[in-house]
Amino acid sequence: MSGVRIGVVGLGVMGAHHVRVLRSLDGVDLVGAADALGDPRGAADGLPVVRTASDLIGIGIDAAVVAVPTGLHEPVGLLLAAAGVHALIEKPVAADAGAAARLVAAFDGAGLVGAVGHIERYNPALQALRHRLDAGELGAVHQIATRRQGPFPSRIADVGVVKDLATHDIDATAWIARSEYVHIGALACTKSGRAHEDLVTVTGELADGTLTSHLVNWLTPFKERLFVVTGEHGTFVADTLSADLTFHENGTVPTGWERVAAFRGVAEGASTRFAIPKREPLVVEHEAFRDAVLGLPADIVTLRDGLRTVEVAEAVLESAHTRQTVRIGVAA
């Protein structure tokens, strides 16, 4: 396999992780990085570090990872597309739907691979969950509920919790269910005095009738990343922090002891925590991007996927602002 010459634009926390993974990934040659502030974390460790994406293009690259602040995704992405460079752009793909659409047009028009770093799709627990849903193990899916809570990350300053965090759940939920959002209702607030919302509750409906709910905030002192999928035969619980997947089966044996039934439910079924391979999601994401660049079959998150997620996130913000539900058309 010939090596894909790749560079990283942005050496913040996420950019440093991309550099770490790319250094040891088969089939790629990490040739440099770009950051206007240099390399304060020492992530590059001997790699050439230039100041701009244009300088990085000048080194000679086939592909790039864009890990700059969200507001810079569009100009950096358009620059790469114009230079014929494939790109993996961190999520959200752009600051708004208009910018995301321009990125889609630029990469499609140039015949380039454009991918988005919605890393939850590559989490072992969610990949195993999707496989089991596809196999019909849950029967009809009724509801997908997520909780994504934790303390505020000081490095995030240009977007609120909806576009930074809730986009994980929006993308992963539609991907797991293989169905698009068509209806959104949301409430949001700012409790920490920052410029953007730091708490949001979202209810939604997918095109297949599945109901969704998402609780997302930057106010909780512990981290929680849960997907709870309830259906005909029971409930799957995927914890993407531990990459654990558990199935709680609907019970058929009545609980005769009234005191126990009061907190255990009227019937009990088996609970199973599955043993699943647990590879680092960022490695799997980069393998998919590499393969796509090489023209091999690859399960990437496309720029159009990223655009759709931004559109749903903007519907969340619109609903929270107007306190009215928002209908969303199915993507063409």
Question: What's at 71, amino acid-wise?
Answer: G
Rounded-to-integer distance, Cα 45 and Cα 43, Å: 6
For the chain, the domains span: 4-118+282-301, 121-275+310-327
User: Which CATH number is 4-118+282-301 given?
Assistant: 3.40.50.720
Query: Across residues 73-77, what is the average pLDDT?
Result: 98
Nearest to 122 by CA among 310, 292, 290, 280: 280
pLDDT tens, 98-128?
999 999 999 999 999 999 999 999 999 999 9
pLDDT of residue 224: 97
d(CA 234, CA 250): 5
User: Where does residue 298 rank: exposed (0-12), middle (13-18), buried (19+ CB within 10 A)?
Assistant: middle
Scanning the chain, the segments in alpha helix (DSSP H) are: 13-23, 53-59, 73-82, 97-110, 124-134, 161, 167-177, 258-264, 281-293, 303-322
List the one residue out of 99, 123, 111, 152 whose CA is nearest residue 243. Answer: 123
Q: pTM of the full predicted structure?
A: 0.93
Who contacts 325 (Cβ-Cβ below 8 Å, separation ≥6)? 183, 184, 185, 319
Secondary structure of residue 299 in the 3-state scheme: coil
For 52, the token pair is 């701009």
- Read off the amino acid at residue 29: D
For β-strands 141-151 and 63-66, DSSP reports them as unpaired
121-275+310-327 belongs to which homologous superfamily? Dihydrodipicolinate Reductase; domain 2 (3.30.360.10)
> How far out from the chain centre does Cα 135 lie?
23
Encoded tokens for 222: 């512990």
Residue 21 CA to residue 23 CA, distance in Å, equals 5
**Please, which residues bridge with residue 225 across strands?**
148
What would the pLDDT profile of 120-173 be if each residue is shown by its tens digit? 999 999 999 999 999 999 999 999 999 999 998 766 667 899 999 999 999 999
- Whether residue 1 is predicted with pLDDT greater than 50 in this model: the reply is no
261, pLDDT greater than 80: no
Q: At how many degrees (to 10) do helices 124-134 and 167-177 cross?
A: 30
Amino acid at 49: V
pLDDT band at 265 (very low <50, low <70, confident <90, very high): low
The pLDDT score that the predictor gives to residue 331 is 72
Q: What are the pLDDT digits (tens) for 212-222?
A: 999 999 999 99
Q: How far is CA 227 from CA 81, 95, 199, 230, 247, in A?
A: 35, 25, 18, 10, 12
